[in-house]
Amino acid sequence: MKKTLFTFIIAVTLGLAVFLTIKSLSEPCLAPGELPGLFIHEPEVPEYDPASFARRRQEIMDQLGPTPLLVSATAANDFYYLTGFDEYQGVAVLLPGDPKPFRMFVTPRNPADAMWTGERHGTEGAMKKFGADTAYVMNDLAEILPRRLSGDEKIFLHSRDTRLREILEGWQRETGQTLTFQEADSLIHEQRVIKDAWEIAQLEQAVAVTGKAHSWIMKTMAPGQREYEVQADIEYIFGKNGMTPGFASIVGSGPNATILHHIRNDRKINDGELLLVDIGAASRGRYTADITRTYPVNGQFTPEQRTIYDLVYQASETGLEKMKPGFKMLDCNHAANRVLVQGLYELGLIPDTTVWWQKRFYIQHRVNHYIGLSVHDVGDYGFDPAQRDEHILTPEIRGRDLEPGMVMTMEPGLYLQKNRLDYLVELFGHLATPEELDAFAKQVRPVYEKYAGIGVRIEDNVLITENGNKVLSGYLPKTSEEIEAAMRR
Ligand code: GLY
Ligand code: MN
Ligand code: MN
């Protein structure tokens, strides 16, 4: 008896020793506070690249002809895009053809401010770091600026306040000069549509860090957590990589996954639910990723969740095939939405696919938008903004040609919000008779109830290349099987 107990203790001790050795060997050596594989210690791309900014200014001057362009810091990202200057006051002046074509007005350095908020760039920094040919202090703007412009009858002016315009109008009144002001927004926005190599590197870095956050929460999320805990894990990883959220993180569990921009993030996450996580780290150069994955909280999709998930996945893959030069902006949207509509028809959720509002009931948004300095980045899509509603489901509205250097999302989604069938009159009363709406509700309700409360979005970030595209987030698990495998612990 004693001998058996002794053998048992030896066996358990040996077993434990072997287990601990294997476990410790499988864990790399970590610094205090470090998590495995989550940090990019050295940024691989510089956060400011003077050559890219200089090239942008030259490109836009080539388009201005002889007309000067004034951009105020109030124009936020557009000002940053042309200067890289990261203070909230300043004016950039571009004078095409002038021997000193790039001038800046900036807030001077000041020891009192330096004490409280740190040293500003000042005129020295504007020239040395940001490449201005000449820099002046803001207070001299009213005196100097008109002199630089005299003789010019037309100027492009981009400002979100009226200060610059008031100064120039005052000067006009005094001197009798006639200036005409032209908007420069669309010129700059058009340039921002095509990303240069440095911008693409910034976006890749932002995608990499966003991917790390997704990878981490795939391993750590658990029933019983609050949505804000998952959000905290995500933003911790952004922060440890020197990045910040490029937009309010969306962490929607259960019914909250059906709210497109759910940002309250305060619900308790339950076993058996989906968790929709739409997040984007913004790089130190300010470019933001925008990546969504939808996870089964306990690591396994239910049959109903999988049906909807796989349908959205198919839509995404089909849409991606049309994100290539040779196709137009909305071709990928129509291809992806066609898959969704067909799938919903086969499930019995859309009785008649020729009826526009029956499709619109399920299809909430276009599947692509530009990303860049803004998550919904600026730039023309090539369709009339008045067609905001129709364009989503009208294949004839195709938008502009896709071009290499565009970076955009592919983000189909289906959101079967509970009780939505009760709001058909409010939603589509202007498009269908009460009888038609009633018949629709009656017919689809039994199937709808089965899927009610399920929300799925899958969002990737895609660079259009010369010959096709590069899915920057394509390395992340995406099929339902890949997601389940990645969540296995
Ligand atoms: N995160 C907002 C969007 O996906 O458009
Ligand atoms: Mn998006
Ligand atoms: Mn998103």
Ligand nearest to the CA of 249: 1
74 in helix, strand or coil?
Answer: helix
Cβ–ligand 1 contact at 247 (below 6 Å): yes
Q: Scan for tokens 């240069």, then name that residue.
A: 196
For residue 292, give the ligand 1 atom closest to its CA: 4
For residue 365, give the ligand 1 atom closest to its CA: 5
Q: Identify the band that residue 22 occupies on the pLDDT scale cut at 50, 70 and 90.
A: very low
Supply the mean pLDDT for the chain.
92
Cβ–ligand 1 contact at 411 (below 6 Å): yes
Cβ–ligand 1 contact at 204 (below 6 Å): no
Nearest CA to ligand 1 atom 3: 290
CA 407 / ligand 1 centre spacing (Å): 14
pLDDT digits (tens, 9 = 90+) for 360-408: 999 999 999 999 999 999 999 999 999 999 999 999 999 999 999 999 9
Cβ–ligand 1 contact at 78 (below 6 Å): no
363 in helix, strand or coil?
Answer: coil
CA 293 / ligand 1 centre spacing (Å): 12
Cβ–ligand 1 contact at 460 (below 6 Å): no
Domains present along the chain, CATH in parentheses: 50-192 (3.40.350.10), 194-487 (3.90.230.10)
CA 299 / ligand 1 centre spacing (Å): 24
CA 488 / ligand 2 centre spacing (Å): 27
CA 87 / ligand 3 centre spacing (Å): 28
401 in helix, strand or coil?
Answer: strand
* Interatomic CA distance for residues 347 and 475, integer angstroms: 30
CA 335 / ligand 1 centre spacing (Å): 20
Query: Residues 414, 419, 420, 421: is their CA dihedral positive or negative?
Result: positive
Q: How far is C-alpha 109 from the chain's CA centre?
A: 35
DSSP classification of residue 324: S
pLDDT digits (tens, 9 = 90+) for 263-300: 999 999 999 999 999 999 999 999 999 999 999 999 99
Nearest residue to 369 (alpha-carbon basis) of 404, 327, 323, 335: 323
Percent of the chain whose predicted confidence (pLDDT) is above 90: 84
DSSP classification of residue 392: G
Ligand nearest to the CA of 368: 2
* Interatomic CA distance for residues 209 and 224, integer angstroms: 26
Nearest residue to 105 (alpha-carbon basis) of 152, 153, 73: 73
* Interatomic CA distance for residues 9 and 16, integer angstroms: 11
Amino acid identity of residue 148, one-letter, is R
Two tokens at 352? 């008649």
For residue 278, give the ligand 1 atom closest to its CA: 1
pLDDT digits (tens, 9 = 90+) for 69-90: 999 999 999 999 999 999 999 9
CA 239 / ligand 2 centre spacing (Å): 21
Nearest CA to ligand 1 atom 4: 290
